[in-house]
Amino acid sequence: MGILDRLSTLLRANINDMLDSAEDPEVMLSQILRDMEGEINKARSQVADMMAQERLYRDDLKAEQDKARHMEERAMHYVRQENDSMAKEALKRKADSDANTAVLQTQLQAQTDMVTRLRGQLDALEDKYKEALNNRDNLLARHHRVEARKQIDQTVRDLDVNDYSNDLARMERRIRMNEARQGAEAELNSDGDDADDRFDTQERNTQIDQDLAALKARMGMGGE
């Protein structure tokens, strides 16, 4: 049966292995769950049909068994009436019902075995589906962790291939040069300010000397 084959395939499937080999495990997991749900619905419908057939066999068997008992009672009735002809007819019909009963018992047993097997497979598939459904978030979280590790590993490999240490060293030297130049310019500017101050002081001292000599001349205290 097609459904039984698909059931067996899904029951044998290792979901973790399927996810590991999938290009997009998230899409694969959703597809697996949809497939399993579809197969479960089909299997449930088939099991219901098999159970209905089992019920028909059971009802037919009971009817034949009731008929056989009734024919036996009729035969006993005719025997008490000493009507052997009708008693034989009743026993003949009982024998037919007994034969039908044997056939129906065989058919019912085969149908019951099939229903039991189908229901077992259906229960197993439903359990596997519930397990996959309950573990979906955990499986996806594991997948995302793996992808994150892959991304980090790839970034590390890219950094190893593209060595930026020389670029960083050049940038550091440029910054240090700029810092040193700024310090030197500040020092030069500071020296210029000191020279201006000394020049202004000299001019003031000369003027004061001149003022002192003029004052002494007015006071008749000029030097030789």
Ranges 16-25, 109-118, 151-160: which has the least confidence: 16-25
Q: pLDDT tens, 203-224?
A: 777 877 787 777 777 777 765 5
Higher-confidence residue of 163 and 185: namely 185
Q: How far apart are CA 73 and CA 55, in angstroms?
A: 27
Cα separation of 132 and 112, whole Å?
30
Residue 77, pLDDT score: 93
Nearest to 73 by CA among 104, 97, 57: 97
Average pLDDT score over residue span 186-212: 68
Query: CA 141, 32, 46 angle in degrees (round to 5)?
Result: 145
How far apart are alpha carbons 119 and 67 in whole angstroms? Answer: 32
Would you say 45 and 1 are in contact if contact means Cβ atoms under 8 Å apart? no
pLDDT at 112: 95
Residue 24 carries which DSSP code? S
- The yes-or-no verdict on residue 76 having pLDDT over 90 is yes
Can you tell me the mean pLDDT for 193-201?
A: 60
Entry pTM: 0.52
Residue 48: both structure tokens together: 């219901």
Q: Give yes or no for residue 98 having a pLDDT over 50.
A: yes
Tell me the pLDDT of the chain averaged across its residues. Answer: 79
Is residue 15 within 8 A of residue 36, CB to CB? The reply is: no
Q: With cut-offs at 50, 70 and 90, classify the pLDDT of residue 1.
A: very low
Each domain of the chain, given as residue ranges in start order, spans 2-162
User: In this model, does residue 38 exceed pLDDT 80?
Assistant: yes
Question: Band of the pLDDT at 165, cuts 50, 70, 90?
Answer: low
Q: Distance (Å, rounded) from C-alpha 79 to C-alpha 96?
A: 19
Largest CA distance in the chain: 194
